[in-house]
Amino acid sequence: MTAVRVAVVRLPHALDLALPAYASAFSAGMDLTAAITEPVTLAPGERRLIATGLQIELPPGHEAQVRPRSGLALNHGITLPNSPGTIDADYRGEVSVIVANMGSEPFTITRGMRIAQLVVAPVTRVIWAEAASLGATARGAGGFGSTGVGD
Judge whether 134 lies within some domain. Answer: no
Number of domains forming the structure of the chain: 1
CB 20 within 8 A of CB 32: yes
**Residue 38 dihedral angles phi and psi, to the nearest 5°:** -130, 150
| CA geometry: angle 126, 129, 135, nearest 5 deg | 110
Give yes or no for residue 12 having a pLDDT over 70.
yes
68: nearest Cα among 104, 101, 91, 44: 101
116: nearest Cα among 83, 93, 75: 83
Structural domain containing residue 32: 8-122
Residue-averaged pLDDT of the chain = 95
Judge whether 151 lies within some domain. Answer: no
The pLDDT tens digits for 36-53 are 999 999 999 999 999 999
Model-level pTM greater than 0.75? yes
Judge whether 142 lies within some domain. Answer: no
Judge whether 95 lies within some domain. Answer: yes
| CA geometry: angle 86, 69, 14, nearest 5 deg | 70
Task: Outline where the chain has alpha helix (H).
Answer: 70-76
